[in-house]
Structure 1
Amino acid sequence: MNRERGRGARPESAMSSSSEHTSSSLGTSEASHPTEGQILTIGGDGLANLVAPATKSRARGRGQKAPAKDETISLAAGNVKALGGQMSALRLRQMAERPDYGARGRLIQLWTNWFTFSIGSKQPVVVYQYDVDISSSSLSKMDKDRRQFIFWEAVRQHPEVFGHDPSHFVYDDGKILFSREELLFKGGLKNGTLEFQARHPRETRTFEWTMAIQKVRPDPIILDVSVSAVPQLVRRDTLPIQCIDLVLSQNRRYPFNRFFELWYGWNQRVYCFPEFMKDNRFNNNLGEGKEVWRGLFASASVGQGYRPIINFDVAHSVFYQDMTLADFATEIVGRNRNDMNRPFNMKERELLNNAVKGVKFQITHRGAEKRVYRAKGVDEAPVNIRFTKEEANGGTREVSVAEYFAEDYGPLQLPNMPTVVAGGQKRIFFPLEVCKLYRPQKVPLSISQNERVKANMIEKTRLDAPVRKQVIEKLVKDACLNAREDPFLRSFEINIDASMLSVSGRILPPPTITAKDKGKRDTACHFIERMGSWKTENVQYSTAATCSNFAFICMNMPATRQKEMQEFCYLLVNACRERGMHFDTNVPEEGNERSRGTQPYYVSSIKSDRELDDAFHMCKKETEKHYDSPLELVFVCLDGKDARRYGEIKSLGDLKYGIPTQVVQWKTISAILRSASERRPNNTLQQLILKVNAKLGGVNFKTESQKDDLWQSLTNPKSATLFLGIDVTHPGAHEVRESQSIGAVVGNVDFACHKFDVSYRVQKRFHEQMVHFTKQLKERLFAFLSATKEKPARIIVFRDGISDSQFEAALHEEVTCIEQACRSLDPEYKPKITYIVVQKRHHTRFFPQQRQDTGQGQNVPPGTAVDTVVTHPIDFDYFLCSHLAPKGTARPAHYVVLFDESNFSSDDLQAITYRLCFHNARCAKSGSIPAPTFFADLCCTRANYYLQHFLATFNERSEEDMERALEVNERLKLKMYWI
């Protein structure tokens, strides 16, 4: 894909390209061929590049200068001859380049889980790409495991095509094959079809197979990173990196060696079978027939100085345990083994049916035949299912499944357990005791995201930073990733340095956090740098909100909890008052002078969800009748987590009635009361009132501007900045088919960037690009203008949720939408735009080299920035770990600047990013990502609750209907009701 400089830099001459495939859709790549004087090679981001003579770009910003690029490039790959094709790509917009390196902050030495490697010692490594299509007339579907075995069996059976060394090939277990040598078929043809017979080890039958192999491109791919300086990058392709990634895992995915019995490959990860995991401290049992497997993630790239590097990280995933379906069933329904044969009731059958649907299992009652089936569900017990059995003499008789097994395979031990159903139109019933879960088998994401499984998974896989570092190094060693033991690495001439890279980071200075003292004067909060947090004792909120009335809805509240609820309200209101909030409901509590002025006017106790709407209506009606003013806040107390119920509460409060709501659980109230009775710090209560103040329009804390600093310029009313956070959420696997993706744009509505508002839109399922971006941006611009009476001079966007392959579309399409939205206000209105991508789903980690440099949990301290060694050699990107991770290993956010008309320096953008991490109204500590981005993610989740409630309640399913389902009540506009 194109990776170009930001607008405002000197434009480079347009170049043209010829490609076999073209596409304008988001995330697609084109295959192009070098012209004379160019070479297909691994570029700065580790992608295949067409390299041509370059033009110098001007240096920008302050700090340490980024190294200048050579104006020309030598053909270090050996004067590869022209591969043809004409270049005709018009550059619409250029991607920002790194202007310099950051210099601000205290230096810290770090280890990172990136490792260097080299390719080819003397000559460039050349590979050929092929498309593979495997089919059999006897099978309609083929899974990854079957394709994997059949392909390598074909390699063994056809040495006339593949030769005698399988290490010359890497296969992705799907459609893609890379070969060190050009394949020749019968008659010297470069494409061909092979027909052969093969039997998968888990089958008893031998099938006829057809494998068609088609050369994808006429010319080879050269895996070369010897070029010391890459100039203008015209075309980028992921194929070389894809090939290297496959080489890294192929030895553990090759079915005819010893490693295949120890490891299981899945995409860029290989997981170790638990019985071979040499770590007795790792308890992998998750319950409910599931276990967590530990493995190794590997991905190649190119770092600073165009040095090839590999990212190794520990990976975890949920797999089914090695057990019979009978044992699996007892775990699912929560029985003990002594109670297995008791008949299942309807609820247990339903639980088990949902758990086994789609799961692969093997039969065990036919000796060597271990045929694999996929479960359709469960049915009656074997003693209750009858069918017609054919006798040896040609007659028939009716028998039960239990009788059939007793006669042919021996009596069943558990005849009262359900049967598992397999097959198509002709259903096959198997007793659970003769079935075993197929292994290895990953648990589907929709099941592994189950709250209990997820919580167990997080707890068991959490690794503190020093432990994670040791585990990664051990996994790299155990995987034998060296040319001596790995024939595929040896064949592709890849040599890996098994030591983690050392990198210098900087601990950025935090902003000054201010609040009010008891005299309502601004005062600085005490900041604890090692914790990334500030103390809130004896201070009041910067802008304390007012609440003159509130109501309380309790779900399933017994009479014994009435006093608990009153005590909670007393503690809550007094805590709000201590922070400066005016919270006086003037509701006398008869016989309880202590609680006077702290209780809700109206309390509704309900038994079921059907009463929720009526409860809201009565709270609103009775409270507003008493106070002659709108109801300002509703607390809803639940007896446990319930996503469906939560969605209904938020839909009623935000959409129908326009009342901010705060949901609390009884266990949370109990914890708050317990802390109060024991006179311990009540952190849970403090977190709660932070949200309450923000929902009612207050500002908890502010970041102070220093005289003449950048932030003062950005928040100056005459040169104000609109900060935007953008995210798109997609339907989960458990959500209804009609559910759509939702795009959220969050923007500040004040100069100081403490108050935010949001625009939601429904868009096509799984479409990451913002479809209604221009409309949403216009709403954010109008909201900012309405609230501040000024148009922003700058717009700084933090875009979440897009990957590297989508940068080009985001750059060209979403930045254009911003410009169009600005012109809709005024044709001459052209604010300076900066567009930054925020990436959280990556595997880069940093580990302090010195113990004295560690934060809590021995992680890097908050504010640690890295923009060298493992960052892109050309593009403007940086890592920033802005938060405290008290448990586990801190994951830094990765920021990529796609576009920058303000010509910010590295220090500038890193400082802006870090400061915005302190603007999260939910807590008194720095967040892991800037507040606008975090809020956009939060709002996407909130809008999805609206949508799911709408789809579960109404039959209308058009996009217009779903759009209306996200319309927030006018009373809540410009309020942070979603916090």
Structure 2
Amino acid sequence: MPPRSAPGRGTGPRGGPRGRGRGGGAARESTRVDSPSIAASVSTVGVKRSGTGTAGRKIAVRVNAFETTVQEGFIYHYDVDIIPSTLPVRMNMLLIKQLQAEVARNVFTPPVPYDGRKNMYASRELPLGPNGSSQFDVSVFASASAGGRPPKVYQIKVTKVAVINPEILQRFIQGEQSQDNNVSTALMALNVAIRMAPNQKYPFNTRSFFTEDGKRPLRGGIELWRGYFQSIRPSMGKMIINLDISTGLMYKPGPLIGLCLDFFGKNDPNILSPKRGLPDRERLRLQRFISNIRITTSHGPSGRAQTRVVRKLSSAGASGQKFTMRESGEISVADYFRVHARKTLKFPDLLCVEVGSGALLPLELCDVPPGQIMRKQVPPHLTKDVVEFSTMKPIDRFESIKKGLQVLSYGQSEYVRQFGMNVNDKMIELTARVLDPPTLKYGQGSKRATVVWIISSLYGLCIDSSLLETCQWIMEHYNFGRADKKFFRPSVIKKWVIVVYEGQRRFTQDVAQQMATSFVAGARAVGMTVQDDQPVITWENGQGRIGDQLKKAGQTCVQQKGEGPNLIVVILPDGGDDIYTAVKHFGDVTMGVATQCLLAKKCYRANAQYWANVMLKVNVKLDGINSVPDLPSLTDPAHPTIIMGADVIHPAPGTEGRPSFTALVASVDTTVSKYVAMSRVQTGRQEMIDDLEDMCKEGLTKWQAYRAAVEKNTQKPARLFFYRGIANSRCQMCANVAPDGVSEGQFQQVLDLGACAAFKIAPKITLVVVGKRHHIRMCPVNPGDADRSGNCPAGTTIDAGLGHPTEFDYYQQSHGGLLGTSRPAHYSVIYDENNLSADAMQAMSFALTHVYARATRSVSIPAPVYYADIVCSRAKNHYNPAGNLHLSDSATHTEATSDLQAFKQAFVPLNPKQSGLMYFM
């Protein structure tokens, strides 16, 4: 049996100085290779690093990583087969602990690390017999078994599958060894070793464990715990442990009734009674929340606490839920516990929980043990609380990480000592470079048509409507929105309507008229043309048929103005999320009319800066362009360039039967500032993009059509830059994964041999993976190098001393800090026919973070990746809100369908009128 990691990849089809692929350069087992030319034969998944950048001013930074040594002896890899194979990780860990401590101490002394599933690692060969395999019978301790019944016996088979020489890790970090299965297995072994001790003491998930220190109770039956993420990974010339702060959502411990009441925010237990009016929908919502939670009950004859797992809730209360007993016939749950367990229920009308065995237990007889991780999405109304708890200034975060190192006590872990790891307790310090910001171009009428984007430590980025009023344009000393700066290409508002969903008592006719006047003034201030000063204004009921209401407003516009609107402005009340979704579906997707939603409380007597920010969105929705980068290497007309961005969004944790949504955006203009978008539906939680080739063809079609019709240019694209956003960066501790979960060779077939060949074009292709959710953080060593938030300034780039030992990757923090510790993006260059230098690649990516249309600052990732992420999240707008498919995160398991074809058939394609516009802004 091979080690559990991704299979090796063959050499890619493209040649040149940056040819790639896994080859035969890997040394295996104890084979030693001393040839000084081995580095030349090392194959990589991505582009080989040919050098580091030199541009920008240098600053010293500290990263949340610690250098560590590794053992010189062999690592023995064992397969663990537990029957039954469907047990949760927690149970598997208990069984292995019992196996090593009690059943086979002679084999497992000292105990060895285990990952909770299939893999066990040892620094010595275990005495498992001549075949390297043994089977053991293990039972859980009696207190965990059902009262009166003997403990259940589980079969565990342990088999040796590989022997790894960790010397390959030393060669790998020195750039003398290709990454293969042995390297990946050795890294997995070390990661399991450092996590084993804390996982035995604390609640844990895949890579983090959590402690009660500083925990905070929330509403909704949830409490927040602090945690620590840890991961061993190879870097340039050294092995490091990446240590970071994490946040865990835990179920509130105590009586299960209390948890259920807290979920609803109520105090009266009778609200949990179907007989007393608990709606079935609310019961299903509660069921989704507590499904798979562990509870304890002590109602049995022995009086000992027994652990059970909640599967679902009964449809009736304990007094109304009946079942048949062989001896006495039909009996209610409440009567059963009164007669047979001598437990008279205080609340007999309350729901029961059905546990894994099928038994029904009244809520009041169940308790929730502490430290249970809630593996479901954070409820929207609690997101703000979670963010506040998780947000820490850089200096506080790094101090907490130092304390975490003491909590971990690597030197005291017998598992860590077995593998010869010696962890340096000083954080790694590196030299980073702060790149100069790009120059941006603006429209005619600006005091300066070309200005330098000033990176100011006083202001942050604006990526959310809730932050609009705090954002500012910092272009020298001018404010955007006055008469000094105009859009590069302002759009035209021909006829428009305002549909108000706030009550007319709050949002009166005078307020609406004042808002319309301010809207017009704001549009004209940035150079936009408004042909109609007096829009149609209507008030509607948000509980009505949104589609019909929007059509009615459009028809009124036709009757009064002679033509339909090209913009619908919608005023929303607080909590108008459902109205927003319906407006986007019926307005943008179905009718093909641009919509702009505004919160009533935000636009009421809003200032000029607010309207300037609103116009950032409106202008691009109506085919305008806000600003363009003045970067000849990117916008050279002699070398036409198309930039694509792709992303995937998966169903929320805890939901079943939902699809994933994919998106691709593509630039269509010479300035790479205007984008079109394509969206698709595919199998849930699949990272590979099924329809990538078709979407690329559609993007190329629109690129050619726009350039021919608008720019009067029929040149073929000479360069194609493809950015693939991925939640977890191509982590060096596992086998590297190219975008879409396919290898670079497969990608070349999809994009080059498929889409490009169909158009008879052959652009030089560069493919970059952008890791958005990793745990590397950086902090300036010198406080004078920090921005106002304490973070590194925008443009801070690390490509030396941290990153893959051989491949072309780097970390870049491209946005200014607002709250907490900023996260840099991790760029991995997978494929590069354009042969870009480190400076050129980093400057291009940094420039693309400045053209995000609805922000007033540079953002954290390149605009095309950001756009693709938005399009994915807006995919639910393509479904009729009145349809049968429920896509809200609060929908229950029973409401969801597992029929992928049903989701595909119900997906309403975008109206052709909007397909060439940035409707998603």
TM class by shorter chain equals 0.7 to 0.9
Please give the residue correspondences for 1:835-854 in structure 2 after superposition, counting only pairs within 5 Å: 835-854=767-786
| Cα pair 1:647 1:948 within 8 Å, conserved | no
What residue in structure 1 maps to residue 367 of structure 2?
436
- Please give the alpha-carbon distance, in whole angstroms, between the structure 2 residues aligned to 1:622 and 1:119: 74
What residue in structure 2 maps to residue 257 of structure 1?
none
| Cα pair 2:271 2:277 within 8 Å, conserved | no
Q: How much does 1:686 deviate? A: 3.0
Select the residue among 109, 116, 126 that pairs with 1:173: 116
- Please give the alpha-carbon distance, in whole angstroms, between the structure 1 residues aligned to 2:233 and 2:179: 18
What residue in structure 1 maps to residue 558 of structure 2?
624
What residue in structure 2 maps to residue 759 of structure 1?
678
Q: Does residue 374 of structure 1 match 2:310?
A: yes
Select the residue among 690, 697, 708 that pairs with 2:616: 690
- Please give the alpha-carbon distance, in whole angstroms, between the structure 1 residues aligned to 2:806 and 2:18: 16
**C-alpha deviations, 1:727-755, integer Å up to 9, x for none?**
12223357672x43332221111111111
Question: Residues 109 and 696 (structure 1 numbering): CA distance in 2 closer, same or farther, change over 3 Å?
Answer: same
| Cα pair 1:322 1:439 within 8 Å, conserved | yes
Q: How much does 1:569 deviate? A: 1.9
Q: How much does 1:125 deviate? A: 2.3
Q: Does residue 513 of structure 1 match 2:428?
A: no
What residue in structure 2 maps to residue 571 of structure 1?
518
Q: How much does 1:694 deviate? A: 1.2
Q: Give me the CA root mean square deviation.
A: 3.4
Aligned pair count?
861
Q: Does residue 886 of structure 1 match 2:818?
A: yes
What residue in structure 2 maps to residue 253 of structure 1?
199
1:292 aligns to what SS in structure 2? strand
What residue in structure 2 maps to residue 319 of structure 1?
250
Select the residue among 775, 780, 792 that pairs with 2:699: 780
Q: How much does 1:967 deviate? A: 2.3
Q: Does residue 233 of structure 1 match 2:178?
A: yes
Amino acid in structure 2 at the alignment position of 1:846: M
| Cα pair 1:153 1:198 within 8 Å, conserved | yes
| Cα pair 2:795 2:812 within 8 Å, conserved | yes
Is there any run of 5+ residues in structure 2 with no aligned partner, and where? 1-7, 461-472, 708-712, 731-735, 887-896
| Cα pair 1:784 1:791 within 8 Å, conserved | no
Is there any run of 5+ residues in structure 1 with no aligned partner, and where? 18-33, 42-49, 57-68, 74-90, 255-259, 586-596, 677-681, 706-710
Amino acid in structure 1 at the alignment position of 2:584: K
**C-alpha deviations, 1:504-524, integer Å up to 9, x for none?**
111110012343475676252
Please give the residue correspondences for 1:460-475 in structure 2 after superposition, counting only pairs within 5 Å: 460-475=389-404
Question: Residues 94 and 246 (structure 1 numbering): CA distance in 2 closer, same or farther, change over 3 Å?
Answer: closer
Q: Does residue 134 of structure 1 match 2:82?
A: yes
- Please give the alpha-carbon distance, in whole angstroms, between the structure 1 residues aligned to 2:276 and 2:602: 36
Q: How much does 1:289 deviate? A: 1.6
2:625 aligns to what SS in structure 1? coil
Q: How much does 1:396 deviate? A: 8.4
Select the residue among 138, 143, 153 that pairs with 1:209: 153
Amino acid in structure 1 at the alignment position of 2:210: Y
Please give the residue correspondences for 1:152-191 in structure 2 after superposition, counting only pairs within 5 Å: 152-159=97-104, 162-166=107-111, 169-185=112-128, 188-191=130-133
What residue in structure 2 maps to residue 700 of structure 1?
626
- Please give the alpha-carbon distance, in whole angstroms, between the structure 1 residues aligned to 2:575 and 2:441: 35
What residue in structure 2 maps to residue 708 of structure 1?
none
**C-alpha deviations, 1:396-446, integer Å up to 9, x for none?**
89677279449955655x42661322246854232x33211133321122x
- Please give the alpha-carbon distance, in whole angstroms, between the structure 2 residues aligned to 1:761 and 1:936: 12
Q: Does residue 102 of structure 1 match 2:53?
A: yes
Q: How much does 1:184 deviate? A: 3.1
Q: TM-score, normalised by structure 1?
A: 0.81
Select the residue among 484, 497, 508 that pairs with 2:424: 497
Select the residue among 713, 726, 748 that pairs with 2:646: 726
- Please give the alpha-carbon distance, in whole angstroms, between the structure 2 residues aligned to 1:935 and 1:315: 27
Q: Does residue 477 of structure 1 match 2:406?
A: yes
What residue in structure 2 maps to residue 39 of structure 1?
28
Amino acid in structure 2 at the alignment position of 1:107: K
Q: How much does 1:695 deviate? A: 0.7
Amino acid in structure 1 at the alignment position of 2:81: D
2:242 aligns to what SS in structure 1? strand
1:792 aligns to what SS in structure 2? coil
Amino acid in structure 1 at the alignment position of 2:305: E
| Cα pair 1:270 1:297 within 8 Å, conserved | yes
Select the residue among 911, 916, 920 that pairs with 1:974: 916
Q: How much does 1:215 deviate? A: 2.8
What residue in structure 1 maps to residue 889 of structure 2?
none
What residue in structure 2 maps to residue 926 of structure 1?
858
| Cα pair 1:2 1:234 within 8 Å, conserved | no
1:939 aligns to what SS in structure 2? helix
What residue in structure 1 maps to residue 296 of structure 2?
362
Select the residue among 484, 487, 497 that pairs with 2:414: 487
Q: Does residue 145 of structure 1 match 2:87?
A: no
Q: How much does 1:336 deviate? A: 3.4
| Cα pair 2:681 2:903 within 8 Å, conserved | no
Q: Which moved more, 1:486-495 or 1:520-529?
A: 520-529
What residue in structure 2 maps to residue 605 of structure 1?
540
What residue in structure 2 maps to residue 88 of structure 1?
none
| Cα pair 2:581 2:877 within 8 Å, conserved | yes
What residue in structure 1 maps to residue 665 of structure 2?
746
| Cα pair 1:129 1:179 within 8 Å, conserved | yes
| Cα pair 2:585 2:880 within 8 Å, conserved | no
What residue in structure 1 maps to residue 529 of structure 2?
582
What residue in structure 2 maps to residue 266 of structure 1?
205
Question: Residues 842 and 823 (structure 1 numbering): CA distance in 2 closer, same or farther, change over 3 Å?
Answer: closer
What residue in structure 1 maps to residue 470 of structure 2?
none
Question: Residues 400 and 197 (structure 1 numbering): CA distance in 2 closer, same or farther, change over 3 Å?
Answer: closer
Select the residue among 88, 100, 111 that pairs with 2:62: 111
Question: Residues 416 and 879 (structure 1 numbering): CA distance in 2 closer, same or farther, change over 3 Å?
Answer: same
1:300 aligns to what SS in structure 2? strand
1:284 aligns to what SS in structure 2? strand
Amino acid in structure 1 at the alignment position of 2:723: F
- Please give the alpha-carbon distance, in whole angstroms, between the structure 2 residues aligned to 1:624 and 1:540: 31
Select the residue among 777, 793, 814 that pairs with 2:747: 814
- Please give the alpha-carbon distance, in whole angstroms, between the structure 2 residues aligned to 1:562 and 1:818: 54
Q: How much does 1:793 deviate? A: 0.9
| Cα pair 2:502 2:600 within 8 Å, conserved | no
1:100 aligns to what SS in structure 2? coil
Amino acid in structure 2 at the alignment position of 1:183: L
Q: How much does 1:794 deviate? A: 0.6
Question: Residues 930 and 157 (structure 1 numbering): CA distance in 2 closer, same or farther, change over 3 Å?
Answer: same
Please give the residue correspondences for 1:870-909 in structure 2 after superposition, counting only pairs within 5 Å: 870-909=802-841
**C-alpha deviations, 1:329-360, integer Å up to 9, x for none?**
22122223798899853246555444333332
Q: How much does 1:666 deviate? A: 2.7
Looking at CA atoms only, which structure, 1 or 2, has the larger radius of gyration?
1
What residue in structure 2 maps to residue 945 of structure 1?
877
Q: How much does 1:72 deviate? A: 8.3
Question: Residues 149 and 713 (structure 1 numbering): CA distance in 2 closer, same or farther, change over 3 Å?
Answer: closer
What residue in structure 2 maps to residue 555 of structure 1?
501
Select the residue among 628, 651, 654 that pairs with 2:588: 654
Q: How much does 1:777 deviate? A: 1.6
| Cα pair 1:468 1:889 within 8 Å, conserved | yes
Please give the residue correspondences for 1:304-453 in structure 2 after superposition, counting only pairs within 5 Å: 304-305=236-237, 307-336=238-267, 344-347=276-279, 349=283, 352-365=286-299, 367-378=303-314, 380-382=316-318, 401=334, 404-405=337-338, 409=342, 412=345, 414-415=346-347, 418-423=350-355, 427-430=359-362, 432-445=363-376, 448-453=377-382
What residue in structure 2 maps to residue 715 of structure 1?
635
- Please give the alpha-carbon distance, in whole angstroms, between the structure 1 residues aligned to 2:164 and 2:640: 53
| Cα pair 2:333 2:360 within 8 Å, conserved | no
Question: Residues 637 and 102 (structure 1 numbering): CA distance in 2 closer, same or farther, change over 3 Å?
Answer: same
1:890 aligns to what SS in structure 2? coil
